[in-house]
């Protein structure tokens, strides 16, 4: 397909956000009679799914201490359910476990989730353990004080999701150009006029960027600030903070021919355990970490035998990282792999009898990728120029498939969208940064 000289709408990035935006923008244009998918082109420097969207664990959860995330994820689950088969969505639920120090946070999350129409159940004290053993009869750890069960959550297979989204785009006549890299932007009077690509210049009226870990590079190309006064985070005034911080995600896969089933439920919920006061200890009694942070789900993307995929706490890489080559192809970010394998296997064995001794089943190979996080670790969904919209999801976002739908509605209607408002860039200047919560994780 020959690249056109101009397009009304250009979307850059063939990850979940670029593809979802292209698909929904096409539907929005059709529904309002303002155009069709023929008005949209999507540019991807490699192939769709080349970035984080192709390597994510795929968990879809709503465990956020930042309350505006709850409505965003509720909306996103509606999009997953538009065609769960085509998009590979498994609505198995999500079970999160905490200790007494997180009780208040869990109560708030539970209350707000239900208030925005995202049903969850909360179990405290002895009920927490009773609930866990009703799903996993061999759940053997007795000091989980609080459990939240999100019924609408689950996970999606990444390859299936990307293929499903591509099909939706193609069905609505969006043209996807793979192997076309955006190199720079031309502006006139502060507005974008054209996009410089590896295959020539394309003029355009509206540009949407969904660039995952490549966001900081394009933020700079668009002359946005490298540092910010963020206001207050966890009660502390933060000045001149790096705009972007890279984190390496720690994930991996384990063979488990179990199968990983329960009496009630062939495909159990995703489980997530954060115990901030409990060290991780392996079978020989060696302490591996001061606290527990782990999640896992049934099913893997890359294994030929049944297995389990999970992860732990990401690692802060600071404000510089080599993004290319990305993901499993980048050896630089796989260095801690054996330690991670020890860690996740020990965690799983600590909580469920069936996983005792599972270390030998860890699939030793490169896993995962990096993400670019905003100053408060919460997405920025906003215009960066009057006609350039940035979806900077702060690595929250495989699950947040609905962002593209909301952004499309906003672009076509020109009206503010309630769910998007809290994620404006101006929140930092207005002292409305997020980022506070009782957790060791950056995903607050
Ligand atoms: C290991 C790992 C596990 C994760 N697990 C989960 C999870 O369980 N649940 C969850 O919700 N989230 C998860 N995430 C986060 C989630 O994957 C990301 O937030 C999300 O996929 C980002 O989507 P995106 O569309 O913004 O970016 P990406 O998927 O990274 O897509 C960006 C695309 O832009 C393309 N591109 C880059 N530069 C250019 C250019 N100049 N020109 C043209 N194209 C360009 C890239 O090739 C890439 O395909 C995980 C992330 C990682 C790394």
Q: What is the pLDDT of residue 265?
A: 61
Distance 13 CA to ligand 1 centre (A): 9
Q: What is the pLDDT of residue 337?
A: 75
Q: What is the pLDDT of residue 216?
A: 98
Class of domain 1-58+157-234+375-444 (CATH, top level): alpha beta
Q: How far apart are CA 393 and CA 297, in angstroms?
A: 23
Does 312 contact ligand 1 (Cβ within 6 A)? no
Residue nearest to atom 26 of ligand 1 (CA): 212
Strand extents, DSSP E, 333-442: 370-373, 380-385, 388-392
Q: What is the pLDDT of residue 300?
A: 82
Residue nearest to atom 5 of ligand 1 (CA): 56
Sheet-wide strand order for 146-150: 120-124, 146-150, 94-98, 270-275, 292-298, 307-311, 251-255
For the chain (length 444 residues), average pLDDT per consecutive 10? Answer: 95 98 98 98 98 95 97 98 97 97 98 98 97 94 96 96 98 98 97 98 98 98 94 77 95 83 75 98 93 93 83 95 91 77 96 94 86 96 98 95 98 98 94 90 92
Q: Are 377 and 394 in contact (CB under 8 A)?
A: yes
Residues in the chain, overall count:
444
pTM: 0.97
Q: Is the peptide bond before 324 cis (omega within 30 degrees of 0)?
A: no
Q: How far apart are CA 403 and CA 386, in angstroms?
A: 19
Q: What is the pLDDT of residue 329?
A: 85
3-state DSSP assignment of residue 251: strand
Residue nearest to atom 12 of ligand 1 (CA): 398
Q: Which two tokens stand for residue 25?
A: 């923008």
Residue nearest to atom 25 of ligand 1 (CA): 15
Question: In whole angstroms, how far apart are CA 59 and each of 6, 107, 245, 287?
Answer: 37, 22, 22, 28
Place of tokens 């990728």: 369
Distance 85 CA to ligand 1 centre (A): 21
3-state DSSP assignment of residue 143: coil
Q: How far apart are CA 231 and CA 238, in angstroms?
A: 6
| Residues contacting residue 31 through CB under 8 Å, at least 6 positions apart | none
Name the nearest CA neighbour of 144 among 272, 286, 281, 297.
272
Q: Are 404 and 20 in contact (CB under 8 A)?
A: yes
Q: How far apart are CA 391 and CA 186, in angstroms?
A: 20
Distance 213 CA to ligand 1 centre (A): 7
Distance 326 CA to ligand 1 centre (A): 10
Q: How far apart are CA 139 and CA 147, in angstroms?
A: 13
Q: How far apart are CA 151 and CA 434, in angstroms?
A: 26
Q: What is the pLDDT of residue 135?
A: 92
């Amino acid at each position: 397909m020959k690249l056109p000289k101009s397009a009304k709408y250009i979307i850059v990035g063939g990850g979940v956000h670029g593809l979802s935006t292209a698909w929904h923008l096409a539907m929005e244009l059709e529904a309002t009679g303002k155009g069709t998918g023929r008005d949209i082109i999507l540019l991807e420097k490699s192939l769709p799914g080349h970035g984080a969207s192709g390597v994510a664990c795929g968990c879809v959860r709503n465990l956020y201490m930042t309350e505006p995330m709850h409505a965003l994820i509720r909306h996103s689950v509606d999009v997953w359910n538009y065609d769960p088969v085509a998009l590979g969505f498994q609505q198995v639920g999500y079970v999160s476990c905490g200790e007494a120090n997180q009780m208040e946070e869990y109560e708030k999350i539970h209350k707000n989730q239900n208030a925005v129409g995202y049903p969850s159940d909360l179990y405290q004290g002895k009920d927490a353990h009773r609930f866990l053993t009703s799903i996993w009869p061999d759940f053997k750890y007795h000091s989980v004080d609080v459990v939240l069960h999100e019924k609408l959550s689950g996970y999606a297979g990444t390859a299936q999701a990307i293929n499903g989204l591509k099909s939706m785009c193609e069905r609505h006549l969006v043209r996807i150009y793979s192997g076309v890299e955006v190199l720079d932007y031309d502006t006139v009077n502060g507005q974008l006029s054209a996009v410089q690509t590896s295959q020539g210049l394309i003029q355009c009226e509206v540009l949407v960027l969904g660039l995952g870990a490549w966001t900081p590079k394009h933020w700079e190309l668009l002359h946005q600030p490298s540092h910010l006064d963020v206001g207050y985070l966890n009660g502390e005034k933060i000045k001149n903070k790096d705009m972007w911080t890279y984190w390496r995600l720690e994930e991996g896969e384990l063979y488990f021919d179990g199968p990983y089933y329960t009496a009630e439920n062939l495909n159990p919920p995703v489980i997530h355990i954060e115990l901030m006061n409990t060290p991780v200890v392996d079978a020989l009694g060696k302490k591996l970490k001061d606290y527990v942070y782990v999640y896992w789900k049934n099913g893997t993307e890359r294994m030929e035998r049944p297995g389990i995929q999970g992860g732990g706490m990401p690692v802060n890489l600071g404000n510089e990282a080599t993004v290319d080559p990305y993901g499993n192809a980048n050896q630089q970010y796989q260095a801690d792999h054996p330690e991670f394998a020890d860690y996740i296997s020990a965690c799983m064995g600590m909580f469920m009898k069936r996983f005792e001794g599972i270390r030998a089943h860890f699939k030793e190979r490169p896993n995962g990728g990096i993400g670019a996080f905003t100053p408060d670790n919460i997405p920025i969904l906003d215009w960066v120029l009057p006609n350039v919209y940035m979806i900077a999801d702060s690595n929250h976002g495989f699950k947040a498939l609905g962002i593209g739908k909301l952004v499309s509605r906003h672009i076509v209607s020109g009206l503010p969208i309630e769910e998007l408002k809290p994620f404006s860039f101006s929140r930092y200047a207005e002292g409305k940064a997020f980022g506070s919560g009782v957790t060791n994780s950056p995903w607050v």
